[in-house]
Amino acid sequence: MIPHKKNKIKNLIKISGKLLMIDEITSFEIKEKIYTEKKLSKNEWFYKIHLTNRPVMPGILQSEAMQQSIVSLLYLDVKYKNFDILIFHSKNTFFSEINGSQSLKIISNIVEIKEKFIKARSVIKIKDKIMSKGEFTFIVVKNKKSQLNAK
């Protein structure tokens, strides 16, 4: 499998700019598991504005990275082409600070697909150390573009 880089990811999940929290999809198995990466530099925008006396990656952005990883896996399945995948519920745990130049490995897997709800889990690792983890439920809804085309 050829890795998916930033341009393909932003077109896949429709997120760009500073809010794009994954740089590369390194491997995946449709409906199963995905491995993504985010490379951080010591000059990241959030280090300059979040806890300026102790620059760390905000937990909400760690959660966003995990969610983007899961949503990428779902959108790689053509079944979800005409749908929006929205966060419905999340539960996150943060174990260690993420700061400075780091390479984050994000590993996500689908737990259950039930009608329009999808449950998934994700972890962020630096080397082999788990930095944070999350459990997420997404809701799948028909996107407005496909609704307009159906009329």
* CA-to-CA dists, residue 112 to 29, 118, 121, angstroms: 15, 6, 10
- Token readout for 75 is 């959108």
The residue-averaged pLDDT of 48-55 equals: 91
Q: In what order do the strands lie in the sheet with 102-114?
A: 4-5, 24-29, 33-40, 102-114, 117-126, 129-142, 83-94
The residue-averaged pLDDT of 95-109 equals: 97
* Domain covering 4-150: architecture: Roll (3.10)
Confidence of residue 146 (pLDDT cuts 50, 70, 90): low
Of 31, 48, 26, whose CA–CA distance to 105 is shortest?
Answer: 26
Average pLDDT, the chain: 93
Residue 145 has pLDDT above 80, yes or no: no
